[in-house]
Amino acid sequence: MSTPKDEYTLVIVKPDGIKKSLTGNILTKLAEARLIIIGAKVLHVSKSLAEDHYRHLKDKPFFNDLIEYIQGKPYGEEYQRVMALVYRGPDAIRRVRALAGSTNPEEADPVSIRGSYGRITTKGVFENVIHASSDAKDAEREIKLWFKPEEIVGDLFPVKKVKREAGEETVWS
Ligand code: UDP
Ligand code: MG
């Protein structure tokens, strides 16, 4: 049997996960994938970041509600944040998606993260507490969107130096 290839994937604890104090539960569940965390931060999600992240869904009727949801707009200001993480390891994308469960929390395996903690709002949005990249191409795009090179421990993608007025900054090449 061949060894699964090392992969990386973006995980986001969405604002409903933050509000429900589920960060610890989610990280404990994800530890079952036996991956390592190479980046982690808490941040506010701007409208432009939200729209870029979910650009593949921009024609969906629920797009505006989804953008408000990932920004935490339906919740109090202290919950308008997410925790973003990058996991690395063999078969990382499939393993994390399996632990996350199906997109629709009502259809998700009840033992999965989304099955355990998700719900469908009265507006019909799937509040499913976690984002997980769906394939390698999406993972690379999403990690580059959410993280700067210096926020990742170790080398991930090629980088380049660009001149800035106040010196030099490292950006994805
Ligand atoms: N979503 C929703 N209704 C749908 C499909 C998706 O509310 O019919 C939301 C849900 O929060 C989901 C996100 O939009 O996690 C992104 O959708 P995608 O199809 O990429 O699912 P995922 O990759 O998150 O499982
Ligand atoms: Mg997706």
pLDDT for 34:
98
**pTM for the structure as a whole:** 0.94
Check if the beta carbon of residue 172 is closer than 8 Å to that of residue 157: yes
Closest ligand 1 atom to residue 54 Cα is 16
Q: Is the beta carbon of 131 within 6 A of some atom in ligand 1? A: yes
Looking at all shown ligands, the one closest to residue 61's CA atom is: 1
pLDDT for 1:
61
pLDDT for 170:
84
Per the listing, tokens 């997410």 go with 82
Q: Specify whether 44 is catalytic.
A: no
What confidence tens digit (pLDDT) does each residue in 75-122 have? 999 999 999 999 999 999 999 999 999 999 999 999 999 999 999 999
Check if the beta carbon of residue 129 is closer than 8 Å to that of residue 14: yes
* 152-157 long-range contacts, CB within 8 A, separation 24+: 152/38, 152/39, 152/86, 153/38, 153/39, 154/38, 154/88, 156/8, 156/38, 156/86, 156/88
The architecture in CATH of the region 6-151 reads: 2-Layer Sandwich (3.30)
Q: Where are the domains of the chain?
A: 6-151
